[in-house]
Amino acid sequence: MTTTGQEVEPAKQRSRVGQARLPGQVSRVRELGLLIVLLFIVLIVGIQAPRFLSIDNFEQILLSVAILAIVAVGETLVVLTRNVDLSVGSMVGITAFVTAYFFKQLPGINLLLGILLGCALGLVLGMVNGLIVSFGRVPAIVATLGTLYVYRALVFIVAANTTTQVNASDVPAGYLALATTQIFGIPALILIAAVVAVIVGYFLHASQSGRQLYAVGSNPDAANMIGIRRDRLVFAVFAASGLLCGLAGVLWGARFATVDATDATGLELQVIAAVVVGGVNIFGGSGTILGAVLGAIVLGTLQNALNILNISQFWLQALYGAAIIVAVVLDAFITRWVQRTLLSRRKKA
């Protein structure tokens, strides 16, 4: 059947609908790449301004992104299933305010109770999101855009009926101490973020349900065919995102001490930036907690670097935007390159 020696391959399979995807190995390349970018920034900036390289400064960076990282962990879970949660900023804002106010009104209260309250509030808000998306079948982007507004308005309503602002002097020292305590010399905030990342990351790697999240995002139809309960999983990830936003809100109140109804506005942009830069595919199915956290760290380092180099903070927003665009463009080129290499390798074989 072959005359010229080159085998004519019959019609190839239809191209996949939607965005091209990166195989798992390339995700690991992505994490390595992020580390390299990090090192790169550190080196360049370090040469210009040696105080960038101090332990103190690294601690500053990690402190500044700890809360963002916690939210990014929750967002990653949602994005893995091919959804998005735009209401994270509002959820953090409301839980921060409510928790701080709670501590202000009941100063003698058990610290743990206050923390649990904040987390529970976040959980409930997240579950509402989950209900709207999975059982209400409202597209995630529409649903969470709506709850972004609603939850933010709720903070203002609460603030209007209670107090416009909670100050550092209003809350018990124990609460504020959450942000400043050090355990084994490492700030508690960073440890908490690290523990959250490790736990969720481990869950994604080592549990059946965690693996099913990847399946749901990678090929929802195939997931259905093998009986994966997509509705339940999607509900769960939104609930988890809410819970983590609750925790982040509690920590936010502790760290920034003065909390009003506008806190954490716009946080969703930073979270999506961290997640996309961290290599999590916006169409679901691939990405890691490590990547998202690294993405947050890279962005935090950039911000810190700008500070140190006395470059105006006004470049920061632009850099965030450029980072997202570059990350997506790079992803596309790498994916296409990988696909072409694999195709040609197969042809030679």
Partner 1 sequence: MTNPPEPIVELRGIAKHFGGVQALQGVDFRLFPGEVHALVGENGAGKSTLVKILAGIYRSDAGVVKVGGKVVELRSPTQAQALGIAVVYQEPMLFPDLDVAENVFMGRHPRDRFGRVDWKRMHREVDQLLTSLDVSLSSHTPVQGLSVAEQQLVEIAKALSLQARVLVLDEPTAALSSHEVEELFAIVKQLRERGVAVLFVSHRLDEVFKIADRLTVLRDGTHIITAPVSKINTEEIIKHMVGRELSNLFPKGEAEIGEVVLEVRHLTRPGVFADVSFQLRRGEILGFAGLVGAGRTEVARVLFGIDRAESGEIWLNGKKVHIRSPQHAMDNGIAYVPEDRHQQGLVMNFSIAANVTLPILQQVSRLGLLDPRREQKIAGEYSSQLHIRSEGVEQLVNALSGGNQQKVVLSKWLATNPSVLILDEPTRGIDVGAKAEVHHIISDLAARGLAIILISSELPEVLAMADQVIVLHEGRVTGTFTRSEATQERVMFAATGQER
Partner 2 sequence: MKRHKSLLISWEALLVLLLLIGVVIGSVLSPYFLSGFNFYALTSNIMEIAIMALPMTLIIIAGEIDLSVASVLGLASVVLGLLWESGHPMWLAIGVALLVGLVAGGLNGLLVTKLALPSLVITIGALALYRGLAYVVLGDQAVSDFPSSFTNLGFGTIPGTEIPWSGLIFAILVVIFVAVLHFSRLGRQLYAMGNNKEAARFSGVNVSRVKLMLFMLSGVIAALAGVIFTARFSSARPDNALGFELAVVTVVLLGGVNIFGGRGSLLGVVLAIFIVAVLQDVLNLLNISGDIQSLAIGLLLVLSVLGPNLARRIQVVITHRRLAAGSSMQS
- Compute the least distance from the CB of residue 13 to partner 1, in Å: 5
Among 137, 225, 314, 348, binds partner 1 (CB under 8 A): 225
Nearer to partner 2, 14 or 348 (CB): 14
Which of partner 2, partner 1, none interacts with 282 (beta carbon under 5 to 8 A by kind)? partner 2
CA distances from 278 to 33, 124, 208, 272, 331 (A): 10, 28, 24, 9, 11
State the binding partner of 339 from partner 2, partner 1, none, CB within 5 to 8 A by kind. partner 1
Exposure class string for 89-123: b at 16+ Cβ within 10 A, else e: bbbbbbbbbbbbbbbbeeeeeeeeebbebbbebbb
- The option from partner 1, partner 2, none interacting with 66 (CB < 5 to 8 A, set by class) reads none
Q: Which of residues 279-338 bind partner 1 (CB under 8 A)?
A: 281, 285-286, 338
State which of residues 163, 165, 181, 219 lies at the interface with partner 1 (CB under 8 A).
219
Decide whether 178 or 296 has the Cβ nearer to partner 2.
296
335 lies in the site for partner 2, by CB under 8 A: no
Measured distance CA(57)–CA(121) in Å, rounded: 34
Alpha helix locations (H) across the chain?
Answer: 24-48, 55-80, 88-105, 111-130, 140-161, 173-180, 188-206, 208-218, 220-225, 230-256, 267-277, 289-308, 314-348
Burial class (CB in 10 A: 0-12, 13-18, 19+), 225: exposed
Q: Per-residue string for binding with partner 2, 2-31, x by CB under 8 A? A: -----------------x------------
| Binding partner of residue 243 among partner 2, partner 1, none, CB cut-off 5 to 8 Å per kind | none
Residue type, 292: A
What are residue 260's DSSP bridge partners? 165
Find the binding residues for partner 2 in span 146-185 (CB under 8 A).
Answer: 146-154, 156-157, 160
User: Is residue 266 involved in binding partner 1 (CB under 8 A)?
Assistant: no
Q: Which two tokens stand for residue 263?
A: 């806190």
Q: Which does 222 bind (CB under 5 to 8 A by kind): partner 2, partner 1, none?
A: partner 1
For residue 316, the minimal CB distance to partner 2 (Å) is 7
Nearer to partner 2, 17 or 206 (CB): 17
Give the whole-angstrom CA distance, residue 40 versus residue 143: 39
d(Cα 138, Cα 132) in Å, to the nearest integer? 6
Cα 240 from chain centroid (whole Å) = 12
Considering the rule CB under 8 A, would residue 189 count as an interface residue with partner 2? no
In whole angstroms, give the CA distance from residue 278 to residue 211.
19
Place of tokens 């085998």: 7
Which region among 2-10, 34-42, 243-251, 304-312 touches partner 1 (by CB under 8 A)?
2-10
Number of C-alpha atoms within 13 angstroms, CB side, residue 106? 10
Given 55, 112, 226, 318, the residue binding partner 1 (CB under 8 A): 226
* Positions that interact with partner 2 (CB under 8 A): 19, 84, 132, 136-139, 141-143, 145-154, 156-157, 160, 261, 265-266, 269, 272-273, 276, 282-283, 312, 314-325, 328-329, 332
* Positions that interact with partner 1 (CB under 8 A): 1, 3-4, 6-14, 16, 21-25, 205-208, 211-212, 214-215, 217-219, 221-223, 225-228, 281, 285-286, 338-339, 342, 346-347
